[in-house]
Chains A and B, each alone.
Chain A
Amino acid sequence: MNIKEVAKRAGVSVSTVSRVLNHPDLVREDTRKSIIKIMEELDYSPNWFARNLNLNVTHTLAILVPTIETPFYQRIVAGIEAIANERGYTLILCNTNNQPENERRHLSVLRDRKVDGLIITSTSLLPDVLHNLLEDTIPHVFIGHDERYRFENSCYISFEEAGYRMTQHLVSMNSDKVNERLHVVLDDRSQSRTKKILIGAIQACYDENLAEPKVIQCPNDMGAPYVIARNLIAKQELGQLILCSDDEMAFAIMKAIDEAGQSIPGHYAIAGLSNSIFSSISHPPLTSMDQPAKKLGMVAARLLFDLLDGLDQSEHVVLQSVMKIRRSCGNRKYIHELQEV
């Protein structure tokens, strides 16, 4: 059973049938329904692998990212590229800016361009919508961890574990500061990651018998966190333990604290979770967590090439982030900077 027979039976062209499979939104409702009915009658299922063989392998991969402005995604792309280059593949980079419309548009274009494979680093589409758009069309790997989706192949860093571990560390370093609520400052444009961080932080607070953390959501820039921190300090409402999803936000808050004449780790203990390249030279050096973003990209590319090589396995790989204990959390030891206990 092949596509030609379906087209013949339905009295339409092959490209119409193809459109029903790949661009259902472009086909009239009644036409689409009747073609689908015929497919069911004839027990037809599209063979994407055969399609690729017919249409020539393109040696291109696409990456869908929510932003190209943060080091995290930049490094993921670098990791994917490292593996792709070794295999002689070219990359197409699609930035969705967290907008569902952009994402939809990119996915359609990618199908038309017939890329060999796709790596999705973030999505703002609902599970059913996304899976419908992807189903059986392009081999793909998901970077991230979201139980609502059903990806066969994925890899991720456990941000929940990172949030948990860092909260636990801050608490263990600062028994004198645990009476107030932990402040968790999150980048509001990176929800999939920060949601997990918060879950981990909440769990850690619970396990350490602390009150539930206070959540602050704002853009990750030098302006917003600084202003928020400054206002809270003026009202004497800034918590003594501060956890930031991104080191840049921590730097901004540190600036506000410094200007108010207060000290870290004297008055406040603060940590980030993205290990900026400046975190080891800030004043004080910022305790943070190194995310293996480049490795994550390499793993995703490897998983994708496994699919392209015909390895028919479902793989899920988790990577671990590494704590970098510096000074801002209250740590005074030296070797402690190199290892966590």
Chain B
Amino acid sequence: MVMFPLMGLKLKNPVLVAAGPWSRDAHSIQKSIDAGAAAIISETITMENGVNHQPRYFRLQDNVFNLALYAKLTLEEWQQEIKVIDRKDAVLIASIWGSTPSETAYIARKVEHFGFDAIELSISAPLGLKSDRLTNNPEMIEQYVAAVVSAVDIPVMVKLSYATSLNHRVIKGIEAAGAKALSAIDTLKGLKGINLETFTPLMPAVGGYGGSYLKPISLATSASLNQFINCDLTASGGITSATDVLEFLAIGANGVQLASIILLQGHEVIEKIVQEVDEWLTKRDIRQASDICGRALPHLRPYEDIPLERDIRITCLDPSSIGRDMMNICLDDAIDEFGINVSRCTGCGICVETYPEVFQITW
């Protein structure tokens, strides 16, 4: 078994369960533990009265919109819930949110006292209470994180929204304040659509939008965060398979969080992914986390450093199959019924991506 260290804790595999309704109580958390997840993050615990809007989930294919802010269970109820969890060898992380540094520090102290092993601090204000003051203000965020870090002995991981993950000053502040890890990214704001008969939105309010569509965005975020942070990183957003998990590890994540996929396929999917990741690591004889974490990073370049390819040639393998749609896709008007007009082709590659059986790059 390969150990994946994360903020000083030893995770038995790189699969974590993200904060969300699939971790809303002891029963649901137990399912994740029994399915083999290395760490489980609770639904976000606050001092508010949790609200369950009805309905609160909407779908667009296998992407999900949610109008759920935070846990329904109160602080006191969490104290009781955690007592009935059989941890086995899993790590329990409490996701918390508060409206001020002192309020959040209080919750942090409490959850540490209840027995959680670490904290995931949500700094992007939740849906409905958006305030730019917190999302993009480095000084306030640093204060916020520092208050929580100094209140507890257990490690603190800070969850970033997409917007915050682009803000270098904020990230530096979070690290300086003592966060041991970052997790990126949270859901994006999404709106399902508009009913044009009635001119009503298909959702009562803009919600958090997550699902497989997010994977490339999250992958890019992991890649760029890893360039300049010193602390650990867990990736979240669009991870739905063992391959996804491995890709995120390769781009530099220390751990990977599963979220909407659990909502769509149930806790069983965790077991499948954990198993497949383990099989792959064994087959490749990976003995330690550093053998895979970040392996792909050196090959990724900043835009300016992309080597200029010279004279790539795209050829058409089967001119007889060329149809209208293939000709339309070419911006250079270089595709005709005979194949590719080499003098017009500028090597953009869109035909190769779209019709790989018909077009090929030959260097």
A-side interface residues toward B, CB under 8 Å? 83, 86, 292, 294-295, 298-299, 302, 315-320, 322, 335, 338-341
Are the C-beta atoms of A339 and B103 separated by less than 8 Å? no
The smallest C-beta distance from B97 to any residue of chain A, in angstroms, reads 12
CB distance from B144 to the nearest CB of A (A): 12
* A contacts with B: majority SS: mixed
Answer whether A315 and B205 are a contact pair too, CB < 8 Å, given A83-B76, A302-B75, A339-B131. Answer: no
Residues in A neighbouring B285, C-beta threshold 8 A: none
Question: Looking across the interface, which residue of chain A has its beta carbon closest to that of B133?
Answer: A340
0 or 1 for each of B132-176: is its CB under 8 Å from A? (1 = yes):
100000000000000000000000000000000000000000000
> 10 closest pairs, A vs B, by CB?
A320-B99, A339-B130, A318-B100, A317-B102, A318-B102, A317-B106, A320-B100, A317-B103, A86-B76, A295-B47
Tell me the bound Cα distance from A299 to B99 in angstroms: 13
- The digit string for B62-76, where 1 denotes a CB below 8 A from any CB of A, is 000000000000011
Given A295-B47, A299-B47, A338-B205: A319 in contact with B75 (beta carbons within 8 A)? no
Task: Compute how far the CA of A320 lies from the CA of B140 in the bound complex, rounded to whole angstroms.
Answer: 14
Q: For residue B254, give the distance in angstroms from its CB to the closest CB of chain A.
A: 33
Chain A contacts for B307, CB-based, 8 A:
none
Whether A315 and B106, one on each chain, are in contact in the complex, defined by CB atoms closer than 8 angstroms, is yes
Q: Which residues of B contact A (CB under 8 A)?
A: 47-49, 75-76, 99-103, 106, 128-132, 205-206
Q: Which of A86, A292, A315, A340 is within 8 Å of B131, CB to CB? A: A340
Q: Which residue of chain B lies nearest to A320 when distances are taken between CB atoms in the complex?
A: B99
Q: Whole-angstrom distance between the alpha carbons of A232 and B24 in the complex?
A: 56
Is A319 in contact with B99, judged by CB distance below 8 angstroms? Answer: yes
Q: Which residues of A contact B48 (CB under 8 A)?
A: 292, 295
Q: Name the B residues within 8 Å of A318 (CB-CB).
A: 100-103
A83 to B205, CA, bound (A): 32
Known contacts: A86-B76, A338-B205. The answer to whether A299 contacts B103 by CB under 8 A is yes
Q: Which residues of B contact A302 (CB under 8 A)?
A: 47, 75, 106
Residues on A with beta carbons closer than 8 Å to the beta carbon of B99: 292, 319-320
Give complex CA distance A296, B357 in Å: 65
Supply 5 further A-B pairs (C-beta < 8 A) apart from A292-B99, A317-B103: A295-B47, A318-B102, A319-B103, A338-B130, A338-B205
Distance of A322 Cα from B131 Cα, bound (Å): 10
- CB pair B47–A298 under 8 Å, yes or no, is yes
Between A and B, 19 residue pairs with Cβ closer than 8 Å are A295-B49, A299-B106, A302-B75, A302-B106, A315-B106, A316-B102, A317-B102, A317-B103, A318-B100, A318-B102, A319-B103, A320-B99, A320-B103, A322-B129, A335-B206, A338-B205, A339-B130, A339-B131, A340-B131
Q: In the assembled complex, which residues on chain B have CB atoms less than 8 Å from the CB atom of A292?
A: 48, 99
A341:B100 contact, CB within 8 angstroms: no
Minimal Cβ-Cβ distance residue in A for B134? A320
Assembly CA distance A315 to B49 (angstroms): 22
Chain A nearest CB from B203 CB (Å) reads 13
Q: How far is B101's CA from A315's CA once the two chains are assembled, in angstroms?
A: 12
Our pick among B106, B129, B132, B206 for the contact of A341 (Cβ within 8 Å) is B132
Q: Are B102 and A338 in contact (CB under 8 A)?
A: no
A335–B127 CA distance with the chains assembled, in angstroms? 12
B240 to chain A, nearest CB (A): 31
Complex CA gap A228/B233 in Å reads 60
Contacts of A295 in B (CB 8 A): 47-49
Q: Which residues of A have CB within 8 Å of B100?
A: 317-320
Name the residue on A nearest B105 (C-beta). Answer: A317
In the bound complex, what is the Cα–Cα distance between A14 and B128 (angstroms)? 59
How far is A319 from B49 in the complex, measured between Cα atoms in Å?
14
B50 to chain A, nearest CB (A): 12
Expressed in whole angstroms, the Cα–Cα distance for A340 and B205 within the complex equals 15
Measured CA separation A339–B128 after assembly (Å): 7
Q: How far is the CA of A339 from the CA of B129 in the complex (A)?
A: 6
Cα distance A318–B101 in the bound complex, in angstroms: 8
